[in-house]
Structure 1
Amino acid sequence: MEIMNSTHEDMDAIFQLYEAGTAYMKQVARKHWQGFDRNMVAREITEGRQWKILVDGVVACVFVTTFHDPLIWQEKDKDPAIYLHRIATHPAFRGQGMVRHIAAWAATHARKHNKQYIRMDTGSGNDKLNQYYISCGFTYLGIVATPDTPELPAHYRNGSSSLFEIKLPPAAVTS
């Protein structure tokens, strides 16, 4: 298993995972993704914020990182944090702990960028998913209302999200 930046050549695989993730959400949750703009994803790839997990050469999972998320995290966005978004796992790799791997990777990535928190959100109301994130080391912080703004993907607008974070321990000081 290897985590690396996605490339523009991965675009079709990324959108296949988004489509599979949306289909799965429609089966198990009240809220689901409502599609994503290819130009937005291309920009994330160019900016080095779109990631993939490769398992035996197969794109098993994708996710996005950012260092700011003020529309969701509001005042807490001032904290030094890395935010995880749009985790989508290939159906053949579900149940293999991809979020645990992402959280471990994110801890290293966060420290490299002097961040103290790993944060993520999901549409509120999916207790099974909330419990999974908690089992991966995240602390559930509650629910926040999301604004109706075109700056957010459609599934966020005028809704609510459950917030999760991992507070990283202070980095060890070496002399």
Structure 2
Amino acid sequence: MKIINSTIEDIDIIFSLYNAGTLLQKKVAQKHWLGFDSTLIENEIHENRLWKIVADNQIVCVFSIAFEDPFIWKEKDKDPAIYIHRIATHPDFRGNGYVKKIVDWAKIYAPAHGKKFIRMDTGSGNDKLNNYYVSCGFNYLGIIATGDAPELPAHYKGGTSSLFEIQL
């Protein structure tokens, strides 16, 4: 298993994983992804912020990172942090602890880039997912209203998110 940057050649697989993730979210959560603009994904690939987990020459999981997230984290965004977004695991490989592997990777990546926090958010109301993130080492910080900022993806608009953080 290795974590490496995604490439533009991965885009169809990335979107298929997002679609599979959306189907799962619809079954188990109050909120679900509402699709993503291909330009956003392409930009993350070109900026080396979209990552893939490869096992046995197959992409089994993808995730992206950001170095700022002011519309979710507000004043805390001034802290040196990386933000993990859009973790999507291939349905055949769910349950293999990829979030823990991402956390282990981030614990090396973040300080190497001058960051002192690893952060993520998820739609509020999914206690099972919240507890899983805590079991991966995150501290649960509570729920925030996400507002309607046009810079946010559609699934954030007018909702709430649970916030998670690891201080390094």
**Aligned length, in residue pairs:** 168
Q: Distance in 2 between matches of 1:66 and 1:107?
A: 15
Q: Distance in 1 between matches of 2:40 and 2:120?
A: 19
Q: State the match for 2:78 in structure 1.
A: 78
Q: State the match for 2:101 in structure 1.
A: 101
Deviation of the 1:114 alpha carbon: 1.1
TM-score normalized with structure 1 length: 0.95
Letter in 2 for 1:109: Y
Q: Is residue 2:122 matched to residue 1:122?
A: yes
TM-score normalized with structure 2 length: 0.99
Deviation of the 1:49 alpha carbon: 0.3
| DSSP-derived class of the 1:103 partner | helix
Q: State the match for 2:91 in structure 1.
A: 91
Structure (1 or 2) with the larger CA radius of gyration: 1
Q: Distance in 2 between matches of 1:77 and 1:149?
A: 16
Q: State the match for 1:143 in structure 2.
A: 143
| DSSP-derived class of the 2:86 partner | strand
Q: State the match for 1:7 in structure 2.
A: 7
Q: Distance in 2 between matches of 1:80 and 1:143?
A: 21
Q: Distance in 2 between matches of 1:17 and 1:135?
A: 23
Q: State the match for 1:32 in structure 2.
A: 32
Structure 1 residue ranges without an equivalent (≥5): 169-175
Deviation of the 1:158 alpha carbon: 1.2
Q: State the match for 2:152 in structure 1.
A: 152
The superposition leaves residues 58-115 of structure 1 with CA deviations (integer Å, 9 ceiling, x where unpaired) of 1100000011000000000000101000000001110000000000001111010111
Q: Which runs of 4+ in 1 moved over 3 A?
A: none
Letter in 2 for 1:152: L
Letter in 2 for 1:14: I
| DSSP-derived class of the 1:155 partner | helix
Q: Distance in 2 between matches of 1:142 and 1:165?
A: 10
Q: Distance in 1 between matches of 2:143 and 2:156?
A: 13
Deviation of the 1:150 alpha carbon: 1.7
C-alpha RMSD of the superposition: 0.5
Q: State the match for 1:172 in structure 2.
A: none
Q: Distance in 2 between matches of 1:15 and 1:21?
A: 10
Q: Distance in 2 between matches of 1:15 and 1:70?
A: 25
Deviation of the 1:16 alpha carbon: 0.3
Q: Distance in 2 between matches of 1:117 and 1:92?
A: 31
Letter in 1 for 2:61: C
Q: State the match for 2:52 in structure 1.
A: 52
| DSSP-derived class of the 2:156 partner | coil
| DSSP-derived class of the 1:10 partner | helix
Q: State the match for 1:43 in structure 2.
A: 43
